[in-house]
Structure 1
Amino acid sequence: MSEDDLFAGEMEGVKPLRQNRARLHKVDEDTPGKAVRRASAVSQKAKLDPLASDNVPKLKSNDVLEFQRAGLQHGVYKNLRLGRYDIEARLDLHRMTVDEARREVFQFLRQCREYELRTVIILHGKGDRNPDKVATIKSHLAVWLPQIEEVLAFHSAQKQHGGTGAVYVMLKKGERSKQTNRERFGLR
């Protein structure tokens, strides 16, 4: 017996389906899960624009800025905090408006990533000359920097680098730096 005969024997008595097309009509219903995800996305988008938010804390001249992403080694953060890393670039925000400062900070950090710089300093000032003694730019930096994915950590600078009127910022390693380390230490 051939394979065709065996197949025909097995298929004996089988009737074809009347409708052999799949329905391609997609039902788009608004489920509770969809509503929750949509609301979450909208709230996250609102968080990304701190200028639209009234939740910017009002920091004073001697308030310390500090932030550390999860996973950053304690010793690395300690060395940043103590100013032990070489400062590879600096940005001075003195006498700028909040809008100008925001533009400059984002552009500066983008350029630092392009050149694969790791440790930079941003001079924001203390705000002592303001009538209300609020450090406006410093207050906004405290909100902007954690929202930038490339920022691993930041901390107010040591006295010789500007103290609480400046902030050290540590950025993620670039791909070239990662590859150099892999080659240097024999990793994949």
Structure 2
Amino acid sequence: MKDLGQLRTALRQKAAEEAAHRARVAAAAQQCERERVLFAQAVGPVTRLRDRGLADVQTPRPEPEARQRLLDEQAALREALSDEVDVETLLLTDDGLSFRRASIGLDVLTKLRRGHWAIQGELDLHGLRRDEARDTLSAFILQAHQHHRRCLRVVHGKGLGSPGREPVLKAKVQRWLAQRQEVIAFTQASGPQGGAGALIVLLGSRVHGHPQARPAFRHPAGV
């Protein structure tokens, strides 16, 4: 008899729980219906669009572009690159003006001159003013490095149209390149690649997202 009493109690408890659950479901349904009616009254009469049988195609979204970060980097580069860096003391005056970091061997320059690496990008600075050329060069080097491009050609011209027919932009480009931490070497282009009007630039590889360390430069007195 005791077991029968416990069973009746359990059955009554289960029935009560089911009744409470049905009541909650009914209340939720009534609430949804009230909200549907209120929405219909607020919106007013509507007409369902005709089903034209079009496929629901999910187009991929473009990758986010950190535009503000790029603008900040460009502003920092404009302030960092100087026209007064004494890069001449770092140039190798052999058969063509060349530059290399202290950790880069002479064999790298030899390979660079001989076209050992394929050109993966080119920038032509003809017709640009100094500030335009500096900003364009900085953005070009930064983008190339971010996309893992190693060998580039920068065309600065021979200065034949400049006053005194002096290649003013050429010297500035050399200074700017020497200050870029991504640049590990550059050399004057061979004849077929542009000769005295262009430079072949080699960028360092990205190691854990960080380029090689930036060396110190000597500035003229008072700068």
Given the two structures, how large is their TM-score scaled by the length of structure 1?
0.60
Query: 2:180 is matched with which residue?
Result: 148
Residues paired across the two proteins, number: 125
Structure-2 change in CA distance of 1:116 and 1:130 (3 Å): same
Conserved in 1, the CA contact under 8 Å of 2:183 and 2:202? yes
Query: 2:207 is matched with which residue?
Result: 175
Match of 2:134 among 102, 114, 121: 102
Match of 1:89 among 99, 112, 121: 121
Partners of 2:181 and 2:162 lie apart in 1 by: 31
Query: 2:97 is matched with which residue?
Result: 65
Q: Answer 1 or 2: which has greater helix percent.
A: 2
Partners of 2:174 and 2:109 lie apart in 1 by: 17
Structure-2 change in CA distance of 1:167 and 1:54 (3 Å): closer
Matched, 1:127 2:159: yes
Unaligned runs of 5+ residues in structure 1 are 1-46, 58-62, 178-188
Shift of 1:64: 4.1
Structure-2 change in CA distance of 1:73 and 1:55 (3 Å): closer
Q: Which piece of structure 1 moves more, 108-117 or 70-79? A: 70-79
Relative contact order (alpha carbons < 8 A, sep ≥ 6): 1 or 2 greater?
1
Query: 2:144 is matched with which residue?
Result: 112
Conserved in 1, the CA contact under 8 Å of 2:98 and 2:109? no
Structure-2 change in CA distance of 1:121 and 1:176 (3 Å): farther
Corresponding letter in the other structure for 1:160: P
Shift of 1:136: 1.5
Partners of 2:207 and 2:147 lie apart in 1 by: 11
Partners of 2:186 and 2:85 lie apart in 1 by: 23
Partners of 1:80 and 1:67 lie apart in 2 by: 11
Conserved in 1, the CA contact under 8 Å of 2:81 and 2:179? no
In the TM superposition, structure 1's runs of 4+ consecutive aligned residues that sit over 3 Å from their partners are: 53-57
Unaligned runs of 5+ residues in structure 2 are 1-78, 89-94, 210-223
Among the aligned pairs, what percent are the same residue?
A: 34
Given the two structures, how large is their TM-score scaled by the length of structure 2?
0.51
Residue aligned with 1:170, SS: strand
Structure-2 change in CA distance of 1:124 and 1:71 (3 Å): same
Residue aligned with 2:117, SS: coil
Partners of 1:163 and 1:112 lie apart in 2 by: 22
Shift of 1:131: 2.6
